[in-house]
Amino acid sequence: MVAVAHMCAAIALSAEIHGNIPGPNGMTDVIILTIDGKAYYQVEHHGVPFVSTSRLGMRTNNGDFSQLEFVGMETSEVSGSYRLNRSKTSEVDYEATKAVCTFRNPEGKTIQVEFRVGRHDVAFRYILPREGAGSVRIFEELTEFSFNDSPEHDFVKTYLTPQSDAMIGWMRTKPSYEEYYGVGKPVTAPSEYGHGYTFPCLFQLGGDGWVLVSETGVDGRFCGSRLGEYYETSGNSEGCVGATYRVEYPMPEENNGNGTSEPAIALPGATPWRIITLGETLKPIVETTVAWDVVEPLYETANDYKFGKGTWSWIVWQDGSIRMEDQKKYVDLASAMGFNYTLVDNWWDRTIGHDAIPELVDYARERNVELFLWYSSSGWWNDIEQSPVHIMSNPILRKKEMKWLRDNGIKGIKVDFFGGDKQETMALYEAILSDADDHGLMVIFHGCTLPRGWEKMYPNYVGSEAVRASENLVFSQYECDQEAQAACLHPFIRNTVGCMEFGGCFLNERLEKSNTRGTIRRTTDVFQLATCVLFQNPIQNFAITPNNLDDAPAVCLDFLREVPTTWDETRYIDGIPGEFVVLARRNGDRWYVAAANATDTPVEFKVKDVLDALGLGKADVRLIDGGNDPSSSDVGAGKKLKVCRNDGAVLIIG
Ligand code: CA
């Protein structure tokens, strides 16, 4: 399709415009307006509406803020720098225009909307003052994200993953952000379950550009939100329609129907931030730090957490491997690879036992390896039997267990099977993190929600699954057939707003212990290596198996030994979501550039193209390519790369 730019720029005639919030350099503006006594915002980039006229407001048990009168707006410049030690970027310089817009409802009650407008990012949240009542329950938020679409709905394309029904899937553990993505669908394409979409949500606006919508700063004092089903509003002018999505709170059925789907806050108080990243290309979306720009660390830690790489037997060897003998083999594998960690997955309390864990810890430490242990979060919100159960959900047992973990030299926990975004569940995530830090433990979440600024908020937080992750490649051939497409989506969507504990990099041809049965890997060895750069998590638990030490190409093992898991810089080079991706990440002086292709059209580029994109002149460049017969070679700037379907390439520069 030839991308056409949209001419739908006008604002409705009945609108009263109250203010314009220009970001630094005036690239992005937020316009504040009211129409028929309702409040709206619009986001423009170089004068083009990227988010068209979209509603603001909420209904609460302490005032209905659906009808609003504009009172005033105060703007100021905010800037600063901060460090992220476990993400895609390490040093962030942040600059934005802050505007606090005050509105009043017909009863005379006040609500404020605080905006932060950057060059390519907009963040906003509601602030409720204390005017009488000391707390408030929010029935619903009226926040919309609307896009100017053509009446034929062939202008806006969506890249969305649906919210699932509650209490379905394995042992009734959903929703857990493990659904498929629709790729390049029109807004009218129905969502799979009828409950809208989980964050982040990517939209392509014809030839105008791209918009990523998500949220951040969700802690234990609010629920996680999502976008509801698409509906149509009147467009900004004749010849277009408004393709509109509204923020929705958790479904009542989540957590087996227990807990609230209407978050409550103490007053004065604020909601989490709704965040928008936009650009003419995908570059600002891949490189954005807005999820961390507007949040602060919630506690200081006395501990020195070490990120890195690990092995985990469960992914290929499954439940039967959770026994002392096999765990020692995976410790040996971690040791041989120079990895820091081995993750002991579910059932360890039954099959190894608490009493034998010190033996495994000693065995690991003699080999410079430390352990993570698995727990179920539940609880009464699913049917999980995989043990240990009912510990992480109980503050008394949790603290006792964490003391035992610390006393026995365990470095971290993986907590699985949450299932829901209610305020109670977000409080549980925070309680686990906070208690774990008291005991020097890092925390990985699985079967869980999207992290929302947590890499900066919680010093011992080291990963969330919240994606259709590597386990599905083991369970289903369809998943293996679709692996490349999914891998070419995550760098643009899921992984750009938060770390992603995918648990990948398979070097077996068959994803089963014997390597002779089970699902067949369709992607090449080099593709698997590329995902180690494309997917980011501060601790990467890779899916390699002990036999790979003998049967995998040495170039693959060498690469896994050296590849970092945290980055100083991340740069978009090229790509189309679901089709192909070329991404660069820097650690220290060294760039790792990964390419992957999910289409029949080869991706071709020269080393020089990458050097130019990174602003590098002459540099030492190593190329890993060759598909399933991989090799590493020094190459010059003139070297041409050709990446075919299900294949990848990695450049190591410097
Ligand atoms: Ca999972």
3-class state of residue 196 by DSSP: coil
Output the CA 464–ligand 1 centroid distance in Å: 10
Q: What's the CA gap between 563 and 535, in Å, rounded? A: 12
**Mean per-residue pLDDT, 167-185:** 97
Q: Is residue 214 part of a domain?
A: yes
Residue in the structure block whose two tokens are 């803020």 = 65
Output the CA 466–ligand 1 centroid distance in Å: 7
Output the CA 338–ligand 1 centroid distance in Å: 26
Tally Cβ neighbours within 10 Å of residue 150: 18
Output the CA 111–ligand 1 centroid distance in Å: 39
pLDDT of 502 higher than 70: yes
Contact 17, 70 (CB under 8 A): no
Output the CA 170–ligand 1 centroid distance in Å: 9
Output the CA 414–ligand 1 centroid distance in Å: 12
Q: Is residue 11 part of a domain?
A: yes
pLDDT of 498 higher than 90: yes
Output the CA 444–ligand 1 centroid distance in Å: 12
Query: Do 172 and 321 share a domain, yes or no?
Result: no
Output the CA 451–ligand 1 centroid distance in Å: 15
Q: Which of 497, 508, 565 is nearest to 531 (CA)?
A: 565
Output the CA 232–ligand 1 centroid distance in Å: 34
Establish whether the linkage from the previous residue to 49 is cis, with ω within 30° of 0.
no
Output the CA 198–ligand 1 centroid distance in Å: 16
Distances (CA, A) of 384 to 123, 375, 459, 501, 588: 37, 11, 29, 21, 43
Q: What is the CATH number of the domain that holds 43?
A: 2.70.98.10
The whole-number pLDDT of residue 476 equals 98
Output the CA 214–ligand 1 centroid distance in Å: 21
Q: Is residue 301 part of a domain?
A: no
Residue in the structure block whose two tokens are 């609010």 = 222
What's the pLDDT band for 378 if we cut at 50, 70, 90? confident
Q: Is residue 297 part of a domain?
A: no
Output the CA 565–ligand 1 centroid distance in Å: 21
Which of 209-232 are b and which e, b meaning 16 or more Cβ less than 10 Å from the residue's Cβ? bbbbbbbbbbbbbbbbbbbbbbee
Residue in the structure block whose two tokens are 């083991």 = 474
176, two tokens: 């857990």
Output the CA 128–ligand 1 centroid distance in Å: 37
pLDDT of 586 higher than 80: yes
What residues form DSSP beta bridges with 643? 603
509, two tokens: 């041809």
Could you please report the per-residue DSSP string of 199-243? EEEEEEETTTEEEEEEEE---TTS---EE---EEEE-SSTT-EEE
Output the CA 299–ligand 1 centroid distance in Å: 28
Tally Cβ neighbours within 10 Å of residue 46: 12
Q: What is the CATH number of the domain that holds 360?
A: 3.20.20.70
Contact 213, 156 (CB under 8 A): no
Establish whether the linkage from the previous residue to 388 is cis, with ω within 30° of 0.
yes
Output the CA 209–ligand 1 centroid distance in Å: 33
Output the CA 446–ligand 1 centroid distance in Å: 6
pLDDT in tens, 107-130: 999 999 999 999 999 999 999 999
Output the CA 472–ligand 1 centroid distance in Å: 8
609, two tokens: 């193209």
3-class state of residue 494 by DSSP: helix
pLDDT in tens, 304-356: 999 999 999 999 999 999 999 999 999 999 999 999 999 999 999 999 999 99
Contact 60, 126 (CB under 8 A): no
Contact 247, 274 (CB under 8 A): yes
Output the CA 73–ligand 1 centroid distance in Å: 45
Output the CA 178–ligand 1 centroid distance in Å: 7
Q: What's the CA gap between 596 and 627, in Å, rounded? A: 11
Q: What's the CA gap between 538 and 237, in Å, rounded? A: 46
Output the CA 447–ligand 1 centroid distance in Å: 4
pLDDT of 9 higher than 80: no
The whole-number pLDDT of residue 235 equals 75
Q: Is residue 526 part of a domain?
A: yes
Strand pairing report for 156-162 and 197-205:
antiparallel
Query: Do 439 and 518 share a domain, yes or no?
Result: no
Could you please report the per-residue DSSP string of 153-180? S-SEEEEEEEPPPSS-SGGG---SS-PP
Query: Do 26 and 50 share a domain, yes or no?
Result: yes
Q: Which of 372, 442, 437, 461 is nearest to 410 (CA)?
A: 372
Q: Is residue 302 part of a domain?
A: no
3-class state of residue 603 by DSSP: strand
Output the CA 535–ligand 1 centroid distance in Å: 16
**Mean per-residue pLDDT, 253-257:** 96
pLDDT in tens, 271-317: 999 999 999 999 999 999 999 999 999 999 999 999 999 999 999 99
pLDDT of 3 higher than 60: no
Output the CA 134–ligand 1 centroid distance in Å: 39
Output the CA 63–ligand 1 centroid distance in Å: 40
pLDDT of 6 higher than 80: no
Among residues of the chain, what percentage have pLDDT more than 90? 96
Residue where a domain stops, chosen among 466, 492, 515 = 466
Output the CA 570–ligand 1 centroid distance in Å: 26
448, two tokens: 């869980």
pLDDT in tens, 526-571: 999 999 999 999 999 999 999 999 999 999 999 999 999 999 999 9
pTM higher than 0.85: yes
Q: Is residue 622 part of a domain?
A: yes
**Mean per-residue pLDDT, 251-257:** 96
pLDDT of 265 higher than 60: yes
Q: What's the CA gap between 578 and 598, in Å, rounded? A: 7
Backbone angles phi, psi at 301, to 5 degrees: -115, 145
Query: Do 56 and 198 share a domain, yes or no?
Result: yes
Output the CA 541–ligand 1 centroid distance in Å: 14
CA 69 to chain centre: 36
Q: Which of 92, 444, 42, 130 is nearest to 294 (CA)?
A: 92
Distances (CA, A) of 537 to 382, 457, 577: 27, 16, 20
Query: Do 322 and 187 share a domain, yes or no?
Result: no
Write out the residues surrounding ion ligand 1, Cβ under 5 A.
Answer: 447
Q: Give first-to-last CA distance, the chain, whole Å.
A: 39
Output the CA 297–ligand 1 centroid distance in Å: 27
- Count of domains forming the chain: 3
The whole-number pLDDT of residue 141 equals 98
Query: Do 172 and 245 share a domain, yes or no?
Result: yes
**Mean per-residue pLDDT, 69-81:** 98
Output the CA 435–ligand 1 centroid distance in Å: 23
203, two tokens: 């939209």
Q: What's the CA gap between 334 and 79, in Å, rounded? A: 42
- Write out the residue range of the structural domain in which residue 453 sits: 308-466
What residues form DSSP beta bridges with 51? 43
CA 198 to chain centre: 11
pLDDT in tens, 212-228: 999 999 999 999 999 99
**Mean per-residue pLDDT, 42-66:** 97
pLDDT of 485 higher than 70: yes
Output the CA 15–ligand 1 centroid distance in Å: 47
Residue where a domain stops, chosen among 292, 324, 348 = 292
The whole-number pLDDT of residue 1 equals 35
Query: Do 179 and 277 share a domain, yes or no?
Result: yes
The whole-number pLDDT of residue 7 equals 55
Query: Do 571 and 596 share a domain, yes or no?
Result: yes
Output the CA 91–ligand 1 centroid distance in Å: 31
Residue where a domain stops, chosen among 416, 451, 466 = 466
Query: Do 313 and 171 share a domain, yes or no?
Result: no
Output the CA 168–ligand 1 centroid distance in Å: 13
Q: Is residue 49 part of a domain?
A: yes
The whole-number pLDDT of residue 123 equals 99
Backbone angles phi, psi at 651, to 5 degrees: -110, 135
311, two tokens: 């092995």
3-class state of residue 401 by DSSP: helix
Contact 88, 94 (CB under 8 A): no
Output the CA 314–ligand 1 centroid distance in Å: 12
Output the CA 289–ligand 1 centroid distance in Å: 26
DSSP structure class, residue 313: S
**Mean per-residue pLDDT, 354-361:** 98
Output the CA 525–ligand 1 centroid distance in Å: 24
Output the CA 224–ligand 1 centroid distance in Å: 18
Output the CA 401–ligand 1 centroid distance in Å: 23
Query: Do 377 and 509 share a domain, yes or no?
Result: no
Query: Do 219 and 269 share a domain, yes or no?
Result: yes
Contact 178, 469 (CB under 8 A): yes
3-class state of residue 141 by DSSP: strand
Output the CA 174–ligand 1 centroid distance in Å: 10
Query: Do 285 and 404 share a domain, yes or no?
Result: no
